[in-house]
Amino acid sequence: MLSLPFRQGIHRPDRDNAIDVYLSDNSEEILADGVWEQTFSKKPKPFPKDEKQAWLAEQNGVSLGSDAFFPFGDNIERAHRSGVAYIAQPGGSIRDDNVIETCDKYGIAMAFTGLRLFHH
């Protein structure tokens, strides 16, 4: 990902979002003609799905920290697909029970920090 040809002056959140879409199963959303030019100086080749799956299969023991609570179990489902085994988050969602249940389903250890740094 470090070698993707990003346009000069692209902001970090836009770059991060582009990487996320580029690696997703919907990479055509960022690589379509008329779209890729907004992010890249040169159109990148699609990331081969088999290489992505091989890399993801090797990932385990990944730690994930968040300064805001996880509102739904689907966030944990997504983390699991990336090899996450440990999560630290402040807790406090009305759905913490669902998030805990999803962590238990995958054997993910989760610690509630009680410290929320995310502000609206």
Q: Count structural domains, the chain.
A: 2
50 and 64 in a common domain: no
pLDDT at 29: 94
Could you tell me if 34 and 43 are in contact, meaning their C-beta atoms sit under 8 angstroms apart?
A: no
The answer to the question of residue 80 being in a domain is: yes
Q: State whether 73 and 33 are in the same domain.
A: no
pLDDT in tens, the chain (120 residues): 878 999 999 999 999 999 989 988 899 999 999 999 999 999 999 988 898 889 888 888 999 999 888 889 999 999 998 899 999 999 988 999 999 999 999 999 999 999 877 655
| pLDDT for res 25 | 85
CATH of the domain at 86: 3.40.140.20
Q: What pLDDT score was predicted for residue 116? A: 79
Does some domain include residue 2? no
CA 77 to CA 97: how far, in whole Å? 15
28 and 49 both lie in a single domain? yes
H and E: helices and strands count for the chain: 5, 3
- Say what the pLDDT of residue 61 is: 93
Tokens (6 digits) for 30:
């960022």
Residue 5 lies in a domain: no
Q: Is residue 35 domain-resident?
A: yes
- Residue 73 domain boundaries: 59-112
pLDDT at 37: 96
Are 17 and 43 part of one and the same domain? yes
Q: Is there a single domain that holds both residue 91 and residue 49?
A: no
